[in-house]
Structure 1
Amino acid sequence: MLPAVMTSPTAPLTFRTGFAADPAARAAVAALLKPVFEIDIAPLERLGGWEDGSVPFAWFEGDACIANVTAHPKPMMLQGKAVTPWSIVSVATRPDRRGRGLFGDLMARALAHCDRETDLVILGTATPDLYRPFGFRPIGEHAFAGPPPAPVPASGLGARRLDLADDADAARLVALFGDRAPVSTICGLRADRPFFMLKALEEPHISLAWLEALHVVAAIEPDGTCLRLLDVVGPAIPPLAAILAELGTGLGGQRLGGQGLDGPSSRIEVYFPPDRLAWQPAEIMPEDSGWMVRGPWPLDGVPAMFSPMTL
């Protein structure tokens, strides 16, 4: 077993792992990621923190994080089975320390940990060739589209856009993740709060609609008469017709994130398998979100994708 702390023989760096509960170390990782990916994970500190079970592997120079790879369990439903693969995230090396083998060293450590926990490791990336040498391969992804289902009566309670800068709204969403139903039995996450939060913060065109009657939050992109449904978070997944009914009464002419629905939606696009939506899509659309797997993947040849609200 690798020691928890060690000194590199070639540089004044210190290896650290298992520091997910250390606020200063988490802040150091956030400081590394922000200029590399132009993403700020610091707001997670008030939105429930890192994913439960996260295991970071990092090289530090004093208090500064120079390189990092984090592994964490990613509970989900795959083909009707509850499974817990592990995921690799927050992979970064400070530009002035690249080319010294830090990335490869940390990937080897992280994957050794994952291999003790699971036979399936996943990651999302815009640079797949970087991960092929570690045994990762791309997977096929598909979204779903078609006309809306037959309308159903709305409750009258409608929808309201959540604001993650508001403490009450943030607490409501964090609480929903504590009792989350997978959005799909074919390919649906059972947790994933930090990544959902980050996606919403980083892409303000995504609207988080609280549907009080259904007790769910729907992540949507309204665009003219097309509605893109990216994810649903709640203790049970309602039919698409019920979601549309509540969105229609609550959002009406309101414009969300600079966009809005110009009357009833004539086209629905769903970015996860719609098996729980009581809706039959007319079209299956190829997608490429950069997901890769290492190990057995049960959805080869099956139209499916992870929600875009995960990272």
Structure 2
Amino acid sequence: MSCDRFQKSFSADSTLSSKLFDLVEDTFPGLTSLAERARELGASWEDASTPFILFDDDVAITHIGVLEIPMYIMGEKVIVGGVHGVCTREGFRRKGYYRQVMNEVMEYCDQRYETLVLTTLEPEYYLPFGFRAVPEHSFKLKCHSTGSINGLRTLDFADVKDIALLHRLLETRVPVSNIVGVVNEKAVFCVDEGSRPLHYFPDLDAIACMEIEDTTLHLYDLVTTQMYPLPKILDRIPQLIEEVVIYFSPDLLNVEDVQAFIYEIEETKLMVRGKFAAEKEKFTLPRSARC
């Protein structure tokens, strides 16, 4: 077993990416294709992430990645460290390798970030390293909107103009919420959302991460240079909407009679280490920013 330190460089080792994704796919089946989709959209995992990898001979057995997420938290812009892709190959677990790599990652992050975030199905693995679970909320409201304008289309990523549009809005977006919102971040967004339909409102110059189930609109994120009142968005959806579920704090949507509910996106818990000014607020880290 190599005793070298674990921080690696994709640019210095052209074989590192394939070795990493051999490990990642073993632990998170399907993640490789999501990362490939993001790469096709011009937002590669390798450009955004600093990898910490433990090898057994030439085989990657443990990985923890760190990337930067520019956020607004309680109205203040901060660069948050995102811990992601945490995995150990089956057959090498419960031998202390994860702890070895995580200790180095924490040392690296402590020199750079006041705040770390991650999302996980297994929060107990991160408690010994100073992470704590922070509750999240979804927000529901009743409405009756039939839409007066057919004002949206699905982005076509076979069209280079739509890819350029996505990049422009991701680079210039305002935070979806002043409580917790993300700005000028591409890699996590494109991994999380690049394989899902993205809906564009041309006259608002806004992209919505959303799904419609019967008469319920599920709104996960808005990528736009200015936030709009929710009725403006609903007016451009040409079908009956009777309920809206919002998966971020709706403080910039100008809505009333909203109910907040404890919620876990895909059953994952948000874990935070260090300073987090929004901890006592009702919010959700948007699906498009979860690593």
TM over 0.5: yes
| Cα contact 1:51–1:192 (8 A) shared by 2 | no
How far residue 52 of structure 1 moved from its aligned partner, in angstroms, is 5.8
172, 180, 186: which one aligns with 1:193: 186
Match of residue 260 from structure 1: none
Match of residue 40 from structure 2: 46
Which amino acid is 2:99 matched to? G
- 1:290 is aligned to 2:269: yes
Match of residue 131 from structure 1: 126
Which amino acid is 1:300 matched to? E
- 1:170 is aligned to 2:163: yes
Match of residue 69 from structure 1: 64
Q: Distance in 2 between matches of 1:15 and 1:164?
A: 40
Q: Distance in 2 between matches of 1:238 and 1:245?
A: 12
How far residue 61 of structure 1 moved from its aligned partner, in angstroms, is 4.3
Secondary structure of 1:129's partner? helix
Alignment of 1:201-220 (within 5 A): 201=194, 204=196, 207-220=197-210
Q: Distance in 1 between matches of 2:58 and 2:155?
A: 36
CA deviation digits over 1:242-267, x for unaligned, max 9? Answer: 2222232xxxxxxxxxxxxxx31010
Q: Distance in 2 between matches of 1:29 and 1:165?
A: 28
Secondary structure of 2:235's partner? helix
- 1:301 is aligned to 2:286: no
Q: Distance in 2 between matches of 1:12 and 1:18?
A: 13
CA deviation digits over 1:103-151, x for unaligned, max 9? Answer: 1111111111111112221110000011111111100111111024888
Secondary structure of 2:137's partner? strand
Q: Distance in 1 between matches of 2:170 and 2:18?
A: 24
How far residue 18 of structure 1 moved from its aligned partner, in angstroms, is 4.3
How far residue 166 of structure 1 moved from its aligned partner, in angstroms, is 5.0
Which amino acid is 1:247 matched to? I
Q: Distance in 2 between matches of 1:14 and 1:114?
A: 19
Q: Which runs of 5+ in 1 are unaligned?
A: 1-10, 249-262
How far residue 159 of structure 1 moved from its aligned partner, in angstroms, is 1.0
78, 98, 104: which one aligns with 1:103: 98
CA deviation digits over 1:255-281, x for unaligned, max 9? Answer: xxxxxxxx3101011100111112124
Match of residue 215 from structure 2: 225
Q: Distance in 1 between matches of 2:164 and 2:8?
A: 27
Which amino acid is 2:117 matched to? I
Match of residue 251 from structure 1: none
Alignment of 1:273-284 (within 5 A): 273-284=249-260
Which amino acid is 2:166 matched to? L
Q: Percent identity among equivalent residues?
A: 27
240, 244, 249: which one aligns with 2:234: 244
| Cα contact 1:149–1:279 (8 A) shared by 2 | no
Which amino acid is 1:240 matched to? L
Match of residue 161 from structure 1: 154
Which amino acid is 1:302 matched to? E
| Cα contact 2:199–2:209 (8 A) shared by 1 | yes
How far residue 30 of structure 1 moved from its aligned partner, in angstroms, is 2.2
Q: Which runs of 5+ in 2 are unaligned?
A: none
- 1:31 is aligned to 2:7: no
Q: Distance in 1 between matches of 2:26 and 2:160?
A: 27
Match of residue 248 from structure 2: 272
| Cα contact 1:13–1:62 (8 A) shared by 2 | no
Which amino acid is 1:230 matched to? Y
| Cα contact 2:144–2:241 (8 A) shared by 1 | no
Secondary structure of 2:95's partner? coil
Q: How big is the alpha-carbon RMSD for the aligned residues of Structure 1 and Structure 2?
A: 2.4
Higher deviation after alignment, 145-154 or 173-182: 145-154
Higher deviation after alignment, 88-97 or 144-153: 144-153
Distance change in 2, residues 1:108/1:265 (3 Å) = same
